[in-house]
Amino acid sequence: MSELSLDPAHWLPHRPPFLLVDVMVSIEPGRRASGEWTLNGDEWFFPGHFPGRPITPGVLLLEAIAQCGAVAVLTDPKYTGRLPLFGGVESARFRRQVLPGDTVLLECEMTRLSARGGKGHGRASVEGQLAVEADLLFVIVDAT
């Protein structure tokens, strides 16, 4: 197999400011992926969440995990021309705040994957400390 691009924009249709993964760290097509998101403090959401005490919104951490999982799906040639979309979130637990200056390690492993959708278990951590963990459900649709 040829070398896979570690640029998430190569695999995902998302673009700034909604591309929430800076670089992929590892990819096992159709199985798992990990990536990093570094928050420099200039992100669009910090001024309003919360003024004087910027904290990364938990829903954006879930989206970042989902984007990482989408790379795991889309690198599998079976899903060329397809697009995974959120179908649900189960068992989400938020354990640590993510602040400006943090680099978040995003991990998502497919626990179920079919032609129509699947489920992935995801985690986001900072310096080895778990920030959020959840099961993400998704449907797979045609990209166009």
**103-113 sheet: strands from edge to edge:** 23-28, 32-38, 103-113, 117-126, 129-142, 82-94
Q: Which of 10, 14, 49, 121 is catalytic?
A: 49
Which is nearest to 21 in space by CA: 135, 123, 106, 86?
A: 106
Asked about 49 being catalytic, the answer comes back as yes
DSSP secondary structure, 109-126, as one string: EEEEE-SSEEEEEEEEEE
Beta-strand (E) ranges in 48-126?
82-94, 103-113, 117-126
φ/ψ of residue 87, rounded to 5: -120, -20
Catalytic residues: 49
